[in-house]
C-alpha cells in the first residue's frame, strides 16, 4: 500500500482569489462546526465569512496566513500586532483564529502554520507571541504546549457554548530574534 504525498504550504496573503476565498470559507465553517478554532460556535456561511476575510485583509495590524493542502486553502491564522500608539507592547503580538479544517488534519499543517507565524513575528521585531485557547480544544493545547508555549493563566469563565461556561488558557512564547540579543535576555533572572 502506497501512502499519498501531499503538498503543504503556509503563506502570508494580501489578497484572495474567489476560488481561494470559497475554499477558505468552507474550511472555516468545517472547523467551526467541529469546535476547533475561531470564536464562532455556529457555521457562518459563505457571505459572512467572505466579509470577515475581506475585512481582515484591510486591517493594517492584522496579517493573514493561509494553510494549503495540495494547493487548496484548508485553514488560516492571524497575527495581530499592537496598534502603533501602543509603544509599550510593540514587542509582542497575538496569534489568533488559528485552525485547520478537520478533513485536512494529520499532515503537519498546524505546526507549519504556527512556525510561519512565529517566523514572521520575529522578523518584524516581535519578541513575544501570545495566544489563548478554550479548554475544550485539547488538540490545540497539546500542539501549543508541544511547541514550547508557556501557559501563564486560566480564565474560568472564558466562553459560553451551548449554555455551558468554558474555561480558557492563556499562553506566551518568547521568540528567537532574527538578529540581536538572544531570547534569554528578555527574561533576566529574578533578584
Q: Give the distance, in angstroms, between the CA of residue 60 and the centroid of all CA atoms in the same chain.
A: 17
The whole-number pLDDT of residue 23 equals 98
Whether 152 has a pLDDT exceeding 60, the answer reads yes
Tell which wins on pLDDT, 5 or 19. 19
User: What is the rounded distance in angstroms from the CA atom of residue 18 to the CA atom of residue 69?
Assistant: 17
**Cell numbers describing residue 57:** 485583509
What would the pLDDT profile of 35-48 be if each residue is shown by its tens digit? 866 788 899 999 99
User: What is the rounded distance in angstroms from the CA atom of residue 78 to the CA atom of residue 99?
Assistant: 10
What would the pLDDT profile of 55-94 be if each residue is shown by its tens digit? 999 999 999 999 999 999 999 999 999 988 888 888 999 9
Place of cell 474550511: 27
User: What is the rounded distance in angstroms from the CA atom of residue 123 to the CA atom of residue 128?
Assistant: 12
- pLDDT above 90: percentage of residues in the chain: 79
The whole-number pLDDT of residue 183 equals 56
The whole-number pLDDT of residue 4 equals 78
Whether 184 has a pLDDT exceeding 80, the answer reads no
Whether 155 has a pLDDT exceeding 70, the answer reads yes
The whole-number pLDDT of residue 187 equals 60
pLDDT confidence band for 109 (50 / 70 / 90): very high
Task: Using a cut of 0.85, tell me whether the model's pTM lies above it.
Answer: yes
C-alpha distances (whole Å) from 88 to each of 3, 59, 83, 126 are 50, 21, 10, 12
The whole-number pLDDT of residue 79 equals 98
**Cell numbers describing residue 71:** 494547493
Amino acid at each position: 500500500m502506497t501512502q499519498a504525498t501531499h503538498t503543504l504550504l503556509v503563506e502570508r496573503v494580501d489578497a484572495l482569489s474567489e476560488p481561494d476565498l470559497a475554499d477558505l470559507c468552507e474550511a472555516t465553517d468545517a472547523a467551526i462546526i467541529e469546535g476547533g478554532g475561531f470564536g464562532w460556535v455556529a457555521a457562518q456561511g459563505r457571505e459572512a465569512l467572505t466579509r470577515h476575510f475581506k475585512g481582515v485583509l484591510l486591517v493594517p495590524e492584522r496579517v493573514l496566513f493561509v494553510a494549503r493542502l495540495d494547493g487548496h486553502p484548508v485553514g488560516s491564522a492571524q497575527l495581530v500586532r499592537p496598534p502603533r500608539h501602543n509603544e509599550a507592547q510593540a514587542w509582542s503580538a497575538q496569534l489568533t483564529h488559528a485552525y485547520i479544517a478537520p478533513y485536512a488534519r494529520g499532515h503537519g499543517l498546524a505546526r507549519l502554520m504556527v512556525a510561519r507565524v512565529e517566523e514572521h513575528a520575529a522578523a518584524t521585531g516581535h519578541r513575544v507571541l501570545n495566544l489563548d485557547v478554550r479548554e475544550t480544544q485539547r488538540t490545540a493545547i497539546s500542539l501549543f504546549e508541544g511547541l514550547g508555549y508557556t501557559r501563564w493563566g486560566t480564565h474560568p469563565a472564558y466562553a459560553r457554548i451551548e449554555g455551558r461556561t468554558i474555561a480558557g488558557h492563556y499562553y506566551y512564547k518568547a521568540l528567537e530574534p532574527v538578529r540581536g540579543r538572544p531570547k534569554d535576555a528578555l527574561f533576566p533572572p529574578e533578584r
